[in-house]
Amino acid sequence: MKAFVVGKYKEPLELAEVAEPVVGERDVLVQVEAAGLNLLDEKVRRGQFRQILPYRPPFVLGHDLAGTVVAAGAGVRGFKIGDEVFARPADHRIGTFAERIAVAEADLALKPASISMAEAASLPLVALTAWQALVERGNLQAGQRVLIHAGAGGVGSIAIQLAKHLGATVATTASGSNADFVRELGADTVIDYRTQDFEQLLGGVDLVVDSLGGENLEKSLRVLRPGGKAIGIAGPPDAAFAREIGAGTALRLATTALSAGVRRQARKLGVTYEFLFMRASGDQLREIGALIDSGALRPIVGKTVPFDQIPEALGALEQGGIRGKAVAVKA
């Protein structure tokens, strides 16, 4: 079958013939109809996550999919041939930029009936990130105040909607041109990051979801109330994350050192910092899918491209300008 492959780190993606996926006893073989495009894909291609995700080239890239079940392992009970599904395959089992992919049953969910394949493919990685940040890690409650950075982006556009569904008061940063858009998603306070300083405008925040890192994360710590929490999805990674992935001693020490400064600042301020590297979860996708079909959440697809234009589309992601997600679709 044909797939887009990382033949060598930092080199352009290659369209290549690869072996058909091996379908294990608890695996589901999916014909890919659409695949979400993520900055994570581009960073993996460049080798920026080699210590955390040591993929050995050549490997097929791609972290989001929507498609149709074409086969299932003998132990699969929740899916049948013909089912329309969506997923973010687990780390070390990525490869959605292909004709077909074998996905663990536990990582898969039925596609929400009310949306298209392209819309479904836009969701898994960003919606799982938002869910794990707000619900699982942040334990966001009705009446609390949350700051979601980059509200017009992939994670931000879903996180705003989810936070409002949970009953929180939502502040977000966005460009002035996106102010009305993020308000429509549910943002109560919109801060133009180009002309305003959110640190001067906010305080007493219960939870921050930071997708930018660096100085933005440091300032985010200072707008939290005592006991508040900042969740970073851009880093720096921390020791807890290293333990989660079963990292060796060297990597655990390295991640501890990388986050030492921000954790020290957090302690001084009486707040906490956690790094989130989202994980695959079919169970959480089912909950997200139910919210989609109920109308509580809606996918945001800012751009679609033909599947054969994936390499060029990935390269353009860092230029920004896309609301929500870009998605590659089969003809």
Q: What residues contact residue 75 under an 8 Å CB cut-off, 6+ apart?
A: 25, 26, 105
pLDDT digits (tens, 9 = 90+) for 109-141: 999 999 999 999 999 999 999 999 999 999 999
The pLDDT value recorded for residue 20 is 97
Query: How far, in Å, CA of 314 to CA of 331, rounded?
Result: 18
Q: Which of 272, 270, 330, 275 is nearest to 305 (CA)?
A: 330
Tell me the Ramachandran region of residue 139: left when phi exceeds 0, alpha when psi lies from -120 to 50, beta otherwise. left
Please identify, in words, the CATH class of the domain defined by 2-123+299-329.
alpha beta
H helices of the chain, where? 39-46, 117-121, 124-131, 154-165, 179-185, 198-201, 214-222, 239-244, 249-269, 282-294, 310-316
Other beta carbons within 10 Å of 180: 10
CA distance 69 to 101: 10
Amino acid at 102: A
- What span, in angstroms and rounded, lies between the C-alpha atoms of 87 and 125? 8
Fold type of domain 125-275: Rossmann fold (3.40.50)
> Hey, where are the domains in the chain?
2-123+299-329, 125-275
Please report, as a single letter, which amino acid is at residue 290: A
- pTM equals 0.96
H or E stretch covering 190? strand 189-192
What is d(CA 110, CA 293) in angstroms, rounded to the nearest whole number?
Answer: 12
Q: How many CA atoms lie within 13 A of 258 on its CB side?
A: 20
Q: What is the pLDDT of residues 16-48, one digit of tens each?
A: 999 999 999 999 999 999 999 999 999 999 999
3-state DSSP assignment of residue 293: helix
Query: What does the block give as tokens for 37?
Result: 């495009």
Question: What is the CB neighbour count within 10 angstroms for residue 25?
Answer: 10
Tell me the percentage of the chain whose pLDDT exceeds 70: 99
Question: Does 51 have pLDDT greater than 90?
Answer: no
Q: How far apart are CA 6 and CA 294, in angstroms?
A: 39
pLDDT tens digits, one per residue of 149-188: 999 999 999 999 999 999 999 999 999 999 999 999 999 9
CA neighbor of 96 nearest in space, from 41, 26, 158: 41
